[in-house]
Amino acid sequence: MIIQRAAVLRGSKAPPRPVRWRAETGGTRALGSIGGLRTKEYAVPELSVTLVTAAGAEQASVAVGTTAMDLVGGDRSVVVARINGELRDLATDLADGDTVEAVSVESPEGLAVLRHSTAHVLAQAVQDTFPEAKLGIGPPVKDGFYYDFSVEHPFTPEDLKVLEKRMQQIVKSGQRFARRVVTESEARHELAGEPFKLRLIGSEGGADVMEVGGSELTIYDNIQAKDGSTCWGDLCRGPHVPDTRYIVPNAFKLMRTAAAYWLGDQANEQLQRIYGTAWPDKEQLHAYLTFLEEAEKRDHRKLGAELDLFSFPDEIGSGLAVFHPKGGVVRRVMEDYSRKRHEEADYEFVNTPHITKGALFEKSGHLDWYAEGMYPPMQLDSDIDEDGHVRRQGVDYYLKPMNCPMHNLVFDARGRSYRELPLRLFEFGTVYRYEKSGVVQGMTRARGFTQDDAHIYCTREQMADELDKLLTFVLDLLRDYGLEDFYLELSTRDPEKSVGSDEVWVEATEVLREAAEKQGLDLVLDEGGAAFYGPKISVQAKDAIGRTWQMSTIQLDFNLPERFDLEYQAADGTRQRPVMIHRALFGSIERFFAVLLEHYAGAFPPWLAPVQVIGIPITDDHNDYLYDVAKRLKAEGIRVEVDTSDDRMQKKIRTAQKSKVPFMLIAGDEDVANGAVSFRYRDGSQRNGVPVDEAISDIVSAVRNRIQVESAPA
């Protein structure tokens, strides 16, 4: 028993709150101020707890009845506590032996709690405004939160404004989030009007959602600050911020509405979802909104139209792009460089048709498990007489959704020797997939696209070395296109849904893991995420504004070699089955194009830019001079134009700037007199009076070295 100085809330029935405790090192120290509270000395039983801070763990003695808030909640940025490894409300009473750590709103967990609490405020606002709305679930998600509701009419943008206002009021009123453990029957009784919540209570560990989970059912009541009345409640496992004032009124925003299936299952009824975002302060909200704006500016669909690169004509169909001349140049340069690198890496180039008889996809199994993703067949050559009798059986032709079966036929076109392995068959193979109408999205999810596809056939012994070389090859190539920041994702076997022996899977997965680890990049496990036919590694790349894109995939396949009965003759004369590796480094050219376009915001490095140099004469008198410069650049393989339109030169600069040409070469009387040109770069910087020879060699070297050029050299 020790004597402690304790603070008592005026008029409160709450137990004494100790504000001092004795640290193990001896002595006492203040825990933090509790302003405006009377203090009084109490004799209270003590508890021994471990306080974890950035500095380390220390033992402390506190009075019985001490809450996590008392111990670690002094700072408003602390929103919850981690007690014995679990996130708990700050109002939680501590128990002897607890390990307690403050969780800041700036930490990922703290932020998620803030967002989840904001979702509760949204739900309360919705039920205040639309009393008939039934509650779905409302978890935190990346950058924010959502809450699903069952309502008769979908929410409108105007509704969102009203709801946002109501949320501000709730937040400002400072309602306390109070946790209450209930029995199942109590919960059922209280939530009789909430059919979806009732279903959650019923689901036995099936649904892993914020609402239920853990050993007990809990309801969070919202308690009014002014009179202590309960104004709203929700089934929720928590935890929450202590009260709604922890939510900053101008740091959250409702973003959009959308429909969503109950528990994400297409077979379930559809609910109306409201997405919101919430942040610790308004600066972070502002930064997030700015990021969204930046992303919108870089949207490849928008830039594609603005820069005249490609379009999706209605007449052709959804998800089918045409490349315009400027986009065609970029695409060709991308392909050319990729081809060159593949040639150097000992790939062999093959070419296969876009359509095939159905028999091929029966053999590969695609018609069994991928038919939904394929365009329906073209029926050819059937001949039916007037009586309806089939005189000649027709044949179904399909557009190919994948290249692998065709490559297998190339492998199988003659007997193969172990001496030929690894055999690497490469093709820019155009495939067609009947993506569901709602999922088509610009170049990143198209119905027709070209893969930089290769299939590598090797022996099991060669597999490790081949994968190792392959990963190095991929990363090296992606870096040449200006992507620098990668991590790898390893998808492992789903035992429920896979073919091949355990032994082969284990070996292959290990081999992939080792190859990945050698690269020294972060490796994320995607447990059970592999296709049924083999484990996979994918390369995820971060773009200039920090978004990650799945780029390359490298996939082992134990299924197709079997189905196609692929064999090679080994050194000992026996016939052996090769290991097959599928790999696409760009994923698809279209997708990679889109990623690069967004990464560079349209300002491609000179080697990829559709127009690399534009000559801008000050007056018409300088046209011929620039034509001569352009001729010399063209001789070096540079894509150059001279703007001889009627516009004034300022206008030409503006036009060139908007089309993001890396080098503007301006020439007037002074330049002509000196045999020079003046550079203007994309950031507006200048470099004047550069001798023509030097200008040409600078441009040529920037292109040859594939470097990005935004501004005048320092």
Quick check: is 451 catalytic? yes
Residues 6+ apart with CB under 8 A from 218: 179, 180, 181, 182, 235, 236, 237, 238
Nearer to RNA, 244 or 277 (CB): 277
Q: Are 442 and 565 in contact (CB under 8 A)?
A: no
Residues 6+ apart with CB under 8 A from 694: none
Q: Rounded to the nearest whole angstrom, what is the least distance from the CB of residue 111 to RNA in the complex?
A: 19
Q: Rounded to the nearest whole angstrom, what is the least distance from the CB of residue 684 to RNA in the complex?
A: 5
Quick check: is 536 catalytic? yes
Which residue shows structure tokens 């007690």? Answer: 83
Interface positions with RNA (CB under 7 A): 154, 256-261, 264-266, 270, 272-273, 301, 305, 312, 314, 317-319, 366, 369-370, 372-373, 435-442, 445, 531-533, 536, 555, 618-621, 645-651, 653-654, 657-658, 664, 666-671, 678, 680, 684, 686, 688
Nearer to RNA, 118 or 555 (CB): 555
Nearer to RNA, 87 or 367 (CB): 367
* Orientation angle between helical segments 108-129 and 157-173, nearest 10 degrees: 110
Residue 6: CA count within 13 A, CB half-sphere = 23
Nearer to RNA, 318 or 574 (CB): 318
User: Looking at 536, 591, 622, 682, which residue is catalytic?
Assistant: 536
User: Looking at 88, 116, 273, 433, which residue is catalytic?
Assistant: 433
Q: Rounded to the nearest whole angstrom, what is the least distance from the CB of residue 486 to RNA in the complex?
A: 19
Rounded Cα–Cα distance for residues 114 and 106 (Å): 10
Q: Rounded to the nearest whole angstrom, what is the least distance from the CB of residue 384 to RNA in the complex?
A: 29
Rounded Cα–Cα distance for residues 586 and 298 (Å): 19
Nearer to RNA, 218 or 555 (CB): 555
Nearer to RNA, 242 or 534 (CB): 534
Beta bridge partners of 159: none
Rounded Cα–Cα distance for residues 666 and 689 (Å): 10
Quick check: is 453 catalytic? yes
| Six token digits for residue 476 | 């090296």
Q: Rounded to the nearest whole angstrom, what is the least distance from the CB of residue 668 to RNA in the complex?
A: 3
DSSP characters over 340-402: HHHHHTT-EE----SEEEHHHHHHHSHHHHTGGGSPPPEEES-EE-TTS-EEE--EEEEE-S-
Quick check: is 455 catalytic? yes
Q: Are 62 and 71 in contact (CB under 8 A)?
A: yes
Q: What separation, in Å, do the N-terminal and C-terminal C-alpha atoms of the chain show?
A: 72
Rounded Cα–Cα distance for residues 18 and 335 (Å): 70
Q: Rounded to the nearest whole angstrom, what is the least distance from the CB of residue 636 to RNA in the complex?
A: 22
Rounded Cα–Cα distance for residues 333 and 672 (Å): 33
User: Looking at 88, 404, 519, 680, which residue is catalytic?
Assistant: 404
Q: How far is CA 375 from CA 235, 359, 591, 708, in A?
A: 46, 15, 20, 41
| Six token digits for residue 350 | 């093959």
Count of Cβ atoms closer than 10 Å to residue 20 Cβ:
19
Rounded Cα–Cα distance for residues 66 and 46 (Å): 9
User: Looking at 4, 124, 451, 519, which residue is catalytic?
Assistant: 451
Quick check: is 582 catalytic? yes
Q: Are 554 and 537 in contact (CB under 8 A)?
A: yes
Q: Rounded to the nearest whole angstrom, what is the least distance from the CB of residue 104 to RNA in the complex?
A: 28
Nearer to RNA, 327 or 442 (CB): 442
Identify the CA nearest to 236 among candidates 195, 291, 193, 197: 197
Count of Cβ atoms closer than 10 Å to residue 520 Cβ:
7
User: Looking at 326, 582, 583, 680, which residue is catalytic?
Assistant: 582
Q: Rounded to the nearest whole angstrom, what is the least distance from the CB of residue 688 to RNA in the complex?
A: 5
Nearer to RNA, 31 or 653 (CB): 653
Q: Respond yes or no on whether the N-terminal peptide bond of residue 405 is cis (omega within 30° of 0).
A: no
Rounded Cα–Cα distance for residues 333 and 477 (Å): 14
Residues 6+ apart with CB under 8 A from 608: 330, 333, 334, 481, 596
Q: Rounded to the nearest whole angstrom, what is the least distance from the CB of residue 637 to RNA in the complex?
A: 25
Nearer to RNA, 280 or 534 (CB): 534
User: Looking at 98, 159, 452, 453, which residue is catalytic?
Assistant: 453
Nearer to RNA, 347 or 449 (CB): 449
Residues with catalytic function? 404, 433, 451, 453, 455, 536, 582
